Structure 1
């Protein structure tokens, strides 16, 4: 029987890290090809094309590099791959998965995975996560689901997943909706059907979008200079259900006349409100002042959405995309 074709890209991250000498910190050194040597079972599941596109800690990834990775993934699908798996560091994994999901215009799955323990540690989780990600990418019921994150035996939708712990193995969760699926005895089991997706065109320019967090007694100096600093958009991680101080609210009103502003919640779970709080700096006041509420979209993912919308000149569609979230 002819095996399906699966493409794997390695970008670096903890899954690829080892220490050069005892006592030194781990760094990305293990290629994708080497990672696969620990998974001989994969050769019985698919014909694998693996490429090492980078050996970077995920904090050093940027949008331009991710666009080149996406171009590679598109090419793999055009050449017959039934799915694509990307390994990378977990620090920004939730953001890169969201970035890809807004641009992934295929029925075939794109799966992102990584590791919380380095390749040199006892009990390293990278091989198991990679094997699970490959199973998800090869599964027929993974089609039409866009980009998904596979970690620790769970499958998460890109727009919902968040890293909720800095070091624990169970570092990823989808706080509002829960995982969309599980791997049970090597079988991909989904808990709900695919959701409707809206894909953006590729960005034609690199925008500058700032992300600021509201905090107790914070001054307005950075806010006041956002436009003059050349930013094209602003996301605010607000208090509670999407709130800021009265001083911030006054400055935000002037900013919204010039660039789009999104207010999200900094809490890590839940949605911004729309019509609950009427005080100055509450969500009703900010909406009147021209700001958009992010809903369940976290601040980091709201920044990605705004960057992409500005980049493809669709910032006028912001409210519609946020409503879908």
Structure 2
């Protein structure tokens, strides 16, 4: 019986890092081909195509590069791959996964993974994560689930996964919703049915600029006042609590929302923005009256990516529909 075809792309990140010398720290140096040799069991599971598309720390990835990676992944599916695995750094992994998930229109799974320990460290988990990611990508029950993140034996849905610790091995979680599945004795097991997905077309425009600002206690308004003059096409605010701002910020948001889309998300790290609970100046009800949109369960970083993509394919008028969490998380 022929083995299934699996495609793996390496973008860099901690999983690919080694030290040049003891004083300089680690750098991305290990190719995807070399990384594959650290988990030889993968070659017994599938016919593997592996390519090194970049050796970058994930903070240096950008949307243009990710679109080229997506093009590569789409080609692999057309060539018969039953799944695609991408390795990258963890710093922006949650954002990359979200970006791909909005654009991935195949039944075949796209799985992202990385590592918290570099290849130079004792106990580096990169090879195990890569093997797990490949198992998930090859599993029949992974189909029609869009993009997923596999780390430390857990499977996370791209739309809700977040990096919630800077250095810990168990750095990824899915607040409120929990992991979508896990690997148990090398078997891929899911905890819920695939969620309904709405996929966007590829953006025709990539020059749009979306600002992300965070509200803080007694913050001045200088940056906020200059958002339009600086040429931004959209604004996301990481707001207090359930989506609240100071009165001074709220007054400026009203003027900005007349010109460009404004999304209010919560900075708390978990939970949803409100819709109709608070009525004070700067509350969610006040901001909605002033023309802002509430992000619901969508975190500020993921809200920025959504708005960038919607504007890129000229669908910003559909923003409210995409922010409805009951559609995004329906089982």
With structure 1 as the length reference, what TM-score do the two structures score? 0.99
Residue matched to 2:181: 181
Q: In the TM superposition, what whole-angstrom CA distance separates every residue of 1:34-92 from its partner, at most 9, and x where no partner exists? A: 00111111111000000000000000000000000000000000000000000000000
CA offset at residue 302 of structure 1? 0.1
Q: In the TM superposition, what whole-angstrom CA distance separates every residue of 1:277-305 from its partner, at most 9, and x where no partner exists? A: 00000000000000000000000000000
- Compute the RMSD of aligned alpha carbons: 0.5
Distance 1:221 1:205 in 2: 29
CA offset at residue 22 of structure 1? 2.0
Residue matched to 2:42: 42
Residue matched to 2:276: 275
CA offset at residue 23 of structure 1? 2.7
2:20 is the counterpart of 1:20: yes
Distance 1:163 1:307 in 2: 21
Q: In the TM superposition, what whole-angstrom CA distance separates every residue of 1:76-122 from its partner, at most 9, and x where no partner exists? A: 00000000000000000000000000000000000000000000100
Distance 2:114 2:120 in 1: 14
Distance 2:186 2:292 in 1: 46
Q: In the TM superposition, what whole-angstrom CA distance separates every residue of 1:8-34 from its partner, at most 9, and x where no partner exists? A: 000000000000112320000000000
Residue matched to 1:228: 229
For the residue of structure 1 that corresponds to 2:252, the secondary structure is helix
For the residue of structure 2 that corresponds to 1:212, the secondary structure is strand
Distance 1:238 1:193 in 2: 32
Distance 1:95 1:39 in 2: 26
For the residue of structure 2 that corresponds to 1:82, the secondary structure is strand
Structure 1 residue runs of 5 or longer lacking an equivalent are: none
Distance 2:24 2:248 in 1: 47
For the residue of structure 1 that corresponds to 2:81, the secondary structure is coil
Residue matched to 1:212: 213
Residue matched to 1:191: 191
Q: In the TM superposition, what whole-angstrom CA distance separates every residue of 1:215-267 from its partner, at most 9, and x where no partner exists? A: 00111111111011110000000000000000000000000000000000000
CA offset at residue 317 of structure 1? 0.2
Distance 1:236 1:38 in 2: 42
1:38-187 map, 5 Å: 38-187=38-187
Distance 1:105 1:213 in 2: 33
Structure 2 residue runs of 5 or longer lacking an equivalent are: none
How many residues matched?
A: 325
For the residue of structure 2 that corresponds to 1:204, the secondary structure is coil
2:2 is the counterpart of 1:2: yes
